[in-house]
Amino acid sequence: MKKIIECVPNISEGRDEKIINECAAAVRSVPGVTLLDVDPGKSTNRTVFTFVGDPESVVEAAFQFTKKAVELIDMSKHSGEHPRMGAVDVVPFVPVANVTMEECIECAKKYGERAGSELGIPIYLYEEASNNPDRKMLKQIRSGEYEGIKNKIYKPEWKPDYGPAEFIPKSGATATGARFFLIAYNVNILGTKEQAHRIALNIREQGRGDDKPGRLKATKGIGWYVDEYNMAQVSLNLDNYKITPPHIAFEECVNDAKELNLAVCGSELVGLIPLEAMLMAAEYYIEKENLFILDEKQKIRLVIERMGLSSVSPFDPGKRIIEYMLEKENNEPLANLTVRDFVELVGARTSAPGGGSVSALAASLGAALGAMVGWMTYGNKKFEKLDSEIRKLIPPLHNGMKEIISMIDADTNAFNDYMIAMKMPKKTDEEIKQREMKMQEGIKKAVEVPLKVMRTGNACWDTMTEIAKIGNISSKSDLEVGAKILETGIWGAFKNVEINLPQVTDEKFKSNVLKECNVILKNSEKKFSEVCDILSKR
């Protein structure tokens, strides 16, 4: 799978569009890199860039970006609300997909070494890339900001990790490192800069710097006034959204603002946010307000409204949520076909997609019809007294449907893995051994995928029977069809297990699989009859 690293460099320029655009062009010029976001701020006089790519391409893009920025920006003429020390102030590397923190640290060091030697910029390592406890945090390195560099860079303890140990008036110094996904997040306050800062002191982890820390871990914050918005903001850096997510920070700011008799007017996301953080917020508000929302798009919309993320500019999920911004490979080519194209492909002169993919589709449709009957009951005034029960019954069927859909392609992919293994060379004993091992891995996978269809489909039965008892009886035939097609999908998946199992040499594996399959088949047959019997008596 493709390795994806995010780089989020900040430049000390937020007003000159020509400079911002040329820096963006430098990123776009590097193959293998996608520029996701450019977020300038006039009051802060700072622009945050976000781009992603494989490790090698991201380092190259960061270097070309830096080269252009230090050419165009003169730090001796810079002023702005945000703390800063260099033309390119900070260059963090962040793991996104299939990469480790260690790989990001290596990227930071490669970038730092090259920028220091080729561009002559003093470079400091920070966060996970730094082993020096006295200059591990960004605020430690930035202490004194740009104006203070000339007084400390010549001290032995402040010798840069890369580049010259001297003050460069035009470029200043740059910090680079590796960190967890940082969310830059501002809460809007109808008040003064001092009032916003007071709230920031209450909630940020450091607190007021005395023995009384603030309430939120992994949180940095200050208060400032944004002229272009005509209001103050509690400006927060959430260093680890799994410790302190944005919705918790927002709610804490709201509580403190109420105590000060101040109004909170929404919030602002700077840059991008992981989908997980948005869904965490959705679950928080769903539970808090006793809502019933399963659709992901509706969950995102709920969060945008509850946190006022469109208060200063429209929040477009397609442009602000990182997973939505990435160019996704089509990992489910079969499931993404039209119904007509899928059926015609099944009927073509090819061995795949075959019975396994069709069985997965059938089982997913069975679960889908069960969920549909649940939805046809929920929210209906006639069945209003059942809402609390139906809320519990729809999610297992909805989730089962979604999970089985992914197995439509997984079944074909498993078969392909086995076929590739069969074509491996077999001239030497070692080659024969490797080929046999890969073939066994492939054939086990070809067994495990339909087995997973059986397991997931089987897990839907108890819910299907409960839906049969209380669901909207006007949808009786839909549930009957759903039950029959679910049973058929499970049976079809078993047939794919059965035909592949003899080729497995692991006898214990074979025995365990057969026992489990027999239990599922008996239960499926029993539950289908039970659903039909319940419906016939209503």
Torsion sign across C-alpha atoms 122, 127, 133, 138: positive
Q: From the CA atom positions of the chain, what is the Rg in Å?
A: 29
Determine the 3-state secondary structure of 6 from DSSP.
Answer: strand
| Number of Cβ within a 10 Å radius of residue 189 | 29
Contact 205, 139 (CB under 8 A): no
| Number of Cβ within a 10 Å radius of residue 529 | 12
Catalytic (active site) residue 82: yes
Determine the 3-state secondary structure of 428 from DSSP.
Answer: coil
Two structure tokens written together for 160: 């840069």
- Rounded to whole angstroms, the Cα distance separating 10 from 362 reads 50
Contact 266, 302 (CB under 8 A): no
Q: Helix 507-536 vs helix 429-458: angle between axes, to the nearest 10 degrees?
A: 20
Active-site pick, 82, 197, 247, 398: 82
Q: How many CA atoms lie within 13 A of 254 on its CB side?
A: 12
Catalytic (active site) residue 210: no
Q: Tell me, what DSSP letter sits at residue 164?
A: -
Contact 253, 203 (CB under 8 A): yes
Contact 137, 149 (CB under 8 A): no
Task: Give backbone dihedrals phi and psi of 241, rounded to 5 degrees, phi first.
Answer: -70, -15
Two structure tokens written together for 381: 């005034």
Two structure tokens written together for 371: 């969920």
- Rounded to whole angstroms, the Cα distance separating 347 from 409 reads 16
Cis peptide before 353 (omega within 30 of 0): yes
Residues forming a β-bridge with 190? 263
Active-site pick, 89, 256, 409, 411: 411
- Rounded to whole angstroms, the Cα distance separating 290 from 287 reads 5
Closest CA to 35 of 20, 49, 56: 49
Two structure tokens written together for 267: 């919030």
- Rounded to whole angstroms, the Cα distance separating 16 from 361 reads 54
- Rounded to whole angstroms, the Cα distance separating 267 from 307 reads 6
| Number of Cβ within a 10 Å radius of residue 146 | 23
Distances in Å between the Cα of 456 and the Cα atoms of 22, 363, 370, 402, 453 are 52, 9, 14, 10, 5
Closest CA to 360 of 447, 482, 443, 449: 449
- Rounded to whole angstroms, the Cα distance separating 169 from 164 reads 13
Residues with catalytic function:
82, 411
